[in-house]
Amino acid sequence: MTAFRQIINGYGGSVIKFMSLIIMTGQLSILICALQHRRTRVRKSIYAAGTSLAFLWMYIMMGDELQQETVPVITLYVLDSPWIFSVAAELFLVLMLLIFRQDCIVYAGKHIVPESIKEAVDLLPDGIAFGDETGTVVFSNIVMNDLCRRISGENLSDSEAFWHMICEKGEERNGDKIIVTDTGEAVMFTGTFVTDCRRKFRQILAFDVTGLQRITSDLEKKNEKLVDIQLRMKAYQAQASDVIISKEIMKARAQVHDELGHVLLSAGYYFENPDQADASVLYSMLKRTNQLLLREAEEPDDMDHDSISDALKIVSAIGVKVDITGEMPEKNEEKDLAGRVIRECAFNAVKHAGGDKLDICFYHTDESFTVSVTNNGEPPREEIIETGGLLALRRSVEEYGGEMNISAADKFMLTIVQPV
């Protein structure tokens, strides 16, 4: 029968040696796994014996490459034995490896082992990672690795560099950082330090807050509308009494006009038909009309109102102070324009810039009237989009041939040049 040495030195030698190497590596990994899983002493001894046999078999397979005088006797015996016995020995080692491997899988499925913790953390919907003070990542789950690739385009290899990038790109919110990914997903990152065995680790957590971010954005928009409504309510309260008085005066005037119409018609009828008309009725109507006229004469003439004074009263009700320089306008058209500018700029200063003071400058020339307004609020962070009152003001100014310019370089400034 053919000796095993001939097969080793033939075409099948490389395959047999490769299989021996796999067996030895597998047995060693099983032994390491048993030590990490803290298996019983008997089980560790069995795995250690299997690993020793695998190492011995690998040594025997390499025996034909050694010098004849240095080859152990057992190696020569195996190499010179019939090939069927050696193949049976290798098949036995393969079967033993499979049995040991299955035993490790069954044990891991019924007990908590280090791999169990890793698998459980990988199933979390949130990201988690730990890194030491040098930035070396000691642990990270699948979600955190995926977020790192989507945000930075690289794998998570340096926890400190990743956290610094989050701090630079993220939006600050209550000490945490929020980053919106390319898919529109909002992720909140938190970074803290934990200590274990006198070693300091950075803990990075990631939470999907897309729904919360959407709700927060809607609330912010609604709050802006509420602030605008609040400002308008304050302005309405400031001029509500004037509006009520004006309505009462208009009502009284309408009543006077109606009474005068009735008196004139009755008087005409009386003069045309003196025999048929009742003079006492005409007298009572004249008396009532005189009473209405005298009462109206005591009312203030609201047609001579000052738009600037009215605007100052309104903005004062919402807590805005106004500092005016330059020559005050005298024409009613200029006063109306100035009053409108004061109201609109005051509302915007409180609503968008958090300001409480306006600086207004009036400037007159032979050809134009100029009004310039600034506030003490925060300068705009983004480009100003004209809507609502500003847009209506611009249309009104340009309708009469004027120009309106808005500057937001260092601070908000509105300038209107109106031809005279």
pLDDT at 302: 46
Minimal CA–CA distance to 345: which of 309, 305, 312, 381?
A: 312
Task: Please list the alpha-helical segments (H only) found in 3-40.
Answer: 4-9, 13-36
288 pLDDT more than 80? no
Burial annotation 184-220 (CB, 10 A radius, 16+ → b, else e): eebbbbebeeeeeeeeebbebebbbbeeebeeeeeee
Q: Which CATH fold topology does 124-208 show?
A: Beta-Lactamase (3.30.450)
The residue that leads in pLDDT, 63 or 418, is 418
Taking each helix axis from N to C end, the angle separating 13-36 and 41-61, rounded to the nearest 10 degrees, works out to 160
3-class SS shares of the chain: helix, strand, coil, % to 5 = 60, 20, 20
Residues near 122 by beta carbon (within 8 Å), at least 6 away in sequence: 141, 142, 143
pTM: predicted TM-score of the whole model, two decimal places: 0.38
- Name the one residue in this structure whose structure tokens are 């009474």: 259
**pLDDT-based confidence at 315, cuts 50/70/90?**
confident
Query: What sign for the dihedral angle of Cα 286, 288, 290, 293?
Result: negative
Average model confidence (pLDDT) across the chain: 79
> What is the dihedral angle through the alpha carbons of 46, 48, 49, 51, rounded to the nearest 10 degrees?
130
Using DSSP bridges, classify how beta strands 413-419 and 176-180 pair: parallel, antiparallel or unpaired. unpaired
The CATH class that applies to domain 307-419 reads alpha beta
pLDDT at 95: 92
Sheet holding 321-326, edge to edge: 321-326, 357-364, 368-375, 413-419, 403-407
> What is the dihedral angle through the alpha carbons of 82, 88, 91, 93, rounded to the nearest 10 degrees?
-100
Minimal CA–CA distance to 173: which of 120, 121, 217?
A: 217
pLDDT tens per residue across span 98-136 = 998 898 888 877 777 777 777 788 888 899 999 988 889
CB 268 within 8 A of CB 325: no
The answer for 371, left when phi > 0, alpha when psi is -120 to 50, beta otherwise, is beta
415 pLDDT more than 90? yes
**pLDDT-based confidence at 339, cuts 50/70/90?**
confident
CB atoms within 10 A of CB 341: 23
Angle value at C-alpha 415, between 409 and 416, nearest 5 degrees: 155
pLDDT tens per residue across span 82-94 = 767 777 888 888 8
Parse the chain into domains and list their residue ranges.
Answer: 4-115, 124-208, 233-304, 307-419
Q: Residue length, the chain?
A: 420
pLDDT tens per residue across span 54-79 = 888 777 777 555 445 555 666 666 66
